[in-house]
Every structure is written in C-alpha cells, then in structure tokens.
Amino acid sequence: MGVVCATARRVRRATIGGVTTPPSPHDDTSGPTVVPVADEAPGTVDRTDVIAAAVKELAWWCVRLLVIGITAFAAWWGLGLMGQALLPLALALIISTVLITPTAWLRRAGVPAGLASMVVILTSFSIAGSVVFFVAPDVVRQSHTLYYQAVQGIQQLELWLQGPPLNARAEDLERWFSDGAAWLQQRMGLIAGQVFAGLGMAGSVIVNLMVITVLTFFFLKDGSRFLPWLTHVTGHKAGRHLAEVLTRCWNTLSGFIRAQALVSLVDAVFIGAGLVMLGIPMALALATLTFIAGFVPIVGAVVAGLVAVLVAFVSHGMTHAIIVTVLVIVVQQLEGNVLSPLLQSRAMNLHPVIVLLSVTVGGAQFGIPGAFFAVPVAAMIAVIIRYLGELIDWKTGEINAEDLYRATHPDDIHPKTGGTAPTTPTTPPGTHHPAAKPTQAPEVPTQPRD
C-alpha cells in the first residue's frame, strides 16, 4: 500500500489549466519516474501507470533485499570460517563485562589502570581455581562408587523390564545388550581417536586461555579509549551513532551476563541444597554444572537437570530420581516465571521463542560456543534494530527530540583529562542519561538512500 501511495503521488502530475502541479517536497523521487498523462481529469490516475510503477518499485526493493541477503550470507559464512579465531575475542568481551565494575571501583580509589586490571583478573582466577579445587576431589572420589552403582542400576532396569507391564523376555534383553556392546566395540577406535585428539587440543586450550587473559587485561585497562578513538576515526556524525549503538550493546551484554549469573546461582543453590538433603553423590559438582549450564538459556537447564536425574537414578533408584525431577521442575518454574522475567526483561527484552530459536540455530551451526553466544548476539541485533526504529520515528515526526535518549555519556566520547577511572556505561536502555539529555535531534540523513 505504501508503494502504491508513493507511486500515485508521483503519477499525479497532470496539467491543470495549463499549469503543471509542482512535486511535493514529501514525495520520494528516488524510484522510477512515471510520465503523466496530460488528458486525464484532475485527481485521476490511470490504473496501468499505478500498477507499472508499483511493479518497478517492488523490483527495486527485491534487488535491495537480495543484496542485503547476499551480504548477510557472506558475513555468516565468514563468521563460520573465523569462528575459532574470534572465540577468544568473544569470551574476553564476555569476561570483561563482568570484571569492568570491580576494575572501575579500584580505579576510582586511585589504583593505576594496569594494576587494577591485574588484581581483578588474578582474583577471578583464584575464585575459579578454588571452585575446581573443591569440586574435582569429590568427583574423583565418588566416580568409582557411581560406576558400580550404574552397573547395579542396569541390572535393576533389566529386572524391571522383565516384569509387568512390559514383560520383556530375558533372551531379548540379552540380545539387545549384546548388540549394544558390539556397537560400542566397533566404535572404540573412533572414540579413542577422539580422546587423543582432545588431548592434542589441550595445548590449543592453554594457548586460548592465555590469549583470553591478555585480551581481557587490555579490555579492562584501555577499553575507555575505544569510543573516543572510534569517534575520531569515523567523524562526529557517524561516530556518535556508532558510539550510541555500541554502548547500548555493551549495556545489553553486561546486563544479560549479570542477570543470567544471578539466575544460574539461584538454580545451583536450590538444586544443590536439594541434592545434598537427598544424599545424592557429587552434589557440589552437579550444582556447579547447573550454574555453568545456566548461561545457555532453556537448553542448559534441561541438560543439567537430566544429568542430576540420571545420577540420582543410578545411585538411589527410581524414587529418588522422581524426587529430583520434581525438584528440578519446581526450581526451573520459579526461575522461568519469576526470576528471569524480573531480571532479564530490561536486559534483553526478547520473546522466549526468539531465545529458543537463537539457541537452536547457534548450537546447530557452531556447537556449544554457538549455543552460549546465541542469545547475547540476538539481543544485540535487537538493540540495533530498535535504535534504527527510533531514528525512523524521529525522522517521520512520530517522536520529538526530547523523547530520544542516549546511553552514551559525553565523557565516554570526549574523556576529561586527568581522570582516574573511565565512566563505565551502565545506563540501562530506555532511560535518559542525566548528563547526556539530547538538546537536538540526532544527525541523520535528510533524504533516504537507495
């Protein structure tokens, strides 16, 4: 309808009383031009001209969308090729969103930037190492017991299958287990190869950890210089838009990480406490797994819950497995209906369907890292789309300049000399920054670009 209306305005150039009606300043003249028919009555347009112009306009839009689609596919293909190289950079950014706040506290207290960044990183490593130190012995100590309990659990499962209502025959069960053992033996070579390949990747993992540590250090130490540099390189008009979008993306990413960490911590505490009260082995390890898996929305909680139920079934039987299942469902319902909407509504503002599709596509294309980064990437794409929508609303007159807001503080783009700490962008999207209330509309092009 919009295409037809714009076309009709261009077509309506009929001669009235020997005077040609001048074009309206609001008409879009970037598309194909239609030659008017002079003998038409005033205010009438031939249907052929309208349809022809609409088809031409549609063809232009198809070409534009095709170019955008090809560009997006090329970006996706390039991302797949450089995924391993970009993974340390992405993880360093994620870690920096968590560590930037304590680093800023130390810098405001007068600690030099490099020393503050190093202290925060070493403290974080100490906390992570302490968790591994307490969890690993528990796993090693109880793994042998859990193995024998798994054998007993398989025997109990075999007896349960032989009873009602399935009444499976012992010969069939023996054949099924024999086929499974044969299938496993045939693939032992492949499994061993994957194990040795994993051991060979240990060196790569160590190198990646070192790269992530170095990148995180420089992000914390020199991250405040990025926006001024970007504004200087791209110019004020483009730089202010890029700075605003990047600041909003940073706020969204840091808000997501903080909210997801709190939600995962609540899940781990409640589920871990329930496992301890039930006497389930490796309760601390399962609670840690629940916390880590919680950073993959929806899917991570399900996987961690299934592992806890499986351990409960192997160690204590069906009754405890059912109790653990109920415990996991109750905690997940509390998290999904109370905590997540309360904490993440302002951080991401994404529909659960978008979250699930993002995790599914990211996991299918890039594995576990793709599932982990899927929701933050989707949230940042949504931030960019919302910002463009705000500019369009201002350009069309639907909102005023006073209705616009900025997440970027002026000191982030033009830092004051002699400061001791950067201004961390913590203003949530959707609010006016007290020191950056816009006094004029953003500088956007006055004419649409083809």
| CA-based nearest residue to 394, from 433, 446, 357 | 446
- Residue 303 pLDDT > 80, yes or no? yes
**Dihedral sign, CA of 355, 361, 364, 368?**
negative
Which residue has tokens 């794409």? 381
Quote the distance between the C-alpha of residue 134 and its chain's center: 31
Do residues 230 and 243 lie in contact, with contact meaning Cβ atoms separated by under 8 Å?
A: yes
**Does the model's pTM come out above 0.75?**
no
Contact present, 242 and 234 (Cβ < 8 Å): yes
The CA dihedral of 214, 215, 217, 223, to the nearest 10 degrees, is 160
Q: pLDDT by residue (tens digit) across 314-357?
A: 888 788 889 999 999 998 888 777 777 667 666 667 777 887 88
Which amino acid, one-letter code, is at 91?
Answer: L
* Chain-centroid distance, C-alpha 211: 22
Q: What is the pLDDT of residues 48-96, one digit of tens each?
A: 888 999 999 999 999 999 999 999 899 888 877 887 778 888 889 888 9
CA dist 307 and 129 (Å) reads 23
Q: How far apart are CA 305 and CA 291, in angstroms?
A: 11
pLDDT in tens, 275-294: 999 888 888 888 888 888 88
169-227: pLDDT as tens digits: 777 777 777 776 666 566 555 555 554 554 455 557 788 888 889 999 999 988 888 88
Q: How far apart are CA 369 and CA 87, in angstroms?
A: 8
Average pLDDT over residues 345-373: 77
Instruction: Look up tokens 């961690």; give the residue.
Output: 304
Rounded Cα distance, 243 and 249, in Å = 10
pLDDT of the residue at 415: 59
Q: What is the pLDDT of residue 54?
A: 92
What does pLDDT average to over the chain?
75
